[in-house]
Amino acid sequence: MRRWFQAALVLSVLVIAPAAHAGWILEGSLGKGYQVSNPKGATQTNLMIAPGVTFLADLLRLQVGFVGDLPDVKDSKFDLQIRPMFVLAPPILPIYGRAIFAIANLLHNNGPDTHIAFGAAAGLKFGLGPVGVFAEAGLLPRSIASNIYWAFEGRLGANVTF
């Protein structure tokens, strides 16, 4: 049984390796959310620039988003987030999934400490050559002072691959 597993692993590497070239991607997007747990309400609009690297003919992406939270909600200020993300984007289908881990409130303008967010998003993507556009919806719960705050976020953006 072990030999079959080893043979399958070697064969998989030989089949996948030619398609495993890495490329680069740069995304820019605008997001807006709504917190559904108390206190309920709109979250700050944010702008994100997310450079990253693509693998397996653009099937997998590792990206790091640099997010600026705009002060468009009452009693809010400009703040920064960093969002490491893992994206699974089948090249043939116009859909994708994104796993997100976020470190928010880096400037501590909206509270006493840094917030941790984690979640996922799914979206539609359309492109022509190296340029594409996308729309996604995600769930990004935030952990603040040992409490979980549930928020949905919508995002529109564009990307270019190199």
95-112: per-residue pLDDT in tens? 999 999 999 888 877 666
Q: Which amino acid is at 79?
A: D
Inside any domain, residue 10: no
Inside any domain, residue 48: yes
Does the pTM exceed 0.85? Answer: no
Question: What's the pLDDT score for residue 130?
Answer: 92
Question: Tokens for 1?
Answer: 């049984």
Q: Give the contacts of 135 (CB within 8 A, at least 6 positions apart).
A: 123, 124, 154, 155, 156
Inside any domain, residue 144: yes
Inside any domain, residue 93: yes
Q: Per-residue pLDDT for 60 more than 60? A: yes
Question: How many CB atoms neighbour CB 92 within 10 A?
Answer: 5
Inside any domain, residue 106: yes
Inside any domain, residue 11: no
Distance between CA 134 and CA 159 in Å, rounded?
8
Inside any domain, residue 14: no
CATH number at residue 69: 2.40.160.20
The total number of structural domains that make up the chain: 1
Inside any domain, residue 79: yes
Question: What's the pLDDT score for residue 27?
Answer: 98
Cα→Cα distances 139→6, 150, 154, Å: 39, 7, 9
Q: pLDDT per residue over 62-80, tens digit each? A: 999 999 999 998 888 899 9
Domain that holds residue 110: 20-161
31 and 42 Cβ atoms separated by less than 8 Å? no
